[in-house]
Chains A and B, each alone.
Chain A
Amino acid sequence: GAGVSQTPSNKVTEKGKYVELRCDPISGHTALYWYRQSLGQGPEFLIYFQGTGAADDSGLPNDRFFAVRPEGSVSTLKIQRTERGDSAVYLCASSPSWKTGELFFGEGSRLTVL
């Protein structure tokens, strides 16, 4: 279990509900990223953490999206008042150093909003 772990792997919810997606990065990795991937598209940047703080949250589409990483390890992506357009695979990645560049991805959480 040395890789990036994401839970749940699949989440089906109804429009308007609140959703939390969890990411457990590789132990010791200081950088953590969230991306959103729609079918047939490349990963779309959402937010990047260096340690506990959000170094860049410019990709969050609106204020319904929020992410935390309170202890510099596990991160939670929170989506309020979900909309059908939020349906996608949410990918988490971690990196051992903010200078290294290589990202290690989890398998993603597939979110379906009905």
Chain B
Amino acid sequence: QQQVKQSPQSLIVQKGGISIINCAYENTAFDYFPWYQQFPGKGPALLIAIRPDVSEKKEGRFTISFNKSAKQFSLHIMDSQPGDSATYFCAASGNNNDMRFGAGTRLTVKP
């Protein structure tokens, strides 16, 4: 049932570096692609999202790149900070709004 595949499982980045997390989806009916951030003991929280009518969306240090033909999208975190250390989930949903999540990437930003 895994409709959204995410990689890598874990990522270690030095402070100030760029973190890149990738996702691929199968269902061409998906039309909303969010990234969620989760800290231990908390529920996931929306970080940034994109719809397929654009190829890139930037909010502060966070950018989503979207490739509709390849059915792939990625999250880039510029100038990564120790406070960014968390688990990141990509997700996708369609008209019926059933949000499906990837398996997650545990990001560690070393000071």
Contacts and interface: CB of A to CB of B under 8 A. Distances in A.
Interface residues of A, number: 29
Contacts of B104: 40-42
Interface stretch (B14-22, B37-45, B59-67, B69-77): B37-45
A45 B99 contact: yes
A99 B93 CA distance: 10
B103 A41 contact: yes
Interface range on chain B: under 10, 10 to 19, 20 to 34, or 35 or more?
A: 20 to 34
Interface stretch (A14-22, A66-74, A78-86, A103-111): A103-111
Interface string B74-98: 0000000000000001000100111
B97 A107 contact: no
Binding site secondary structure of chain B: loop
Interface string B27-47: 000001010000001111110
Nearest to B97: A98
Contact of B101 (A40, A42, A55, A58): A42
Contacts of A40: 104
Interface of A: 4, 31, 33, 35, 40-45, 48, 50, 55-56, 58-59, 91, 93, 95, 98-99, 101-108
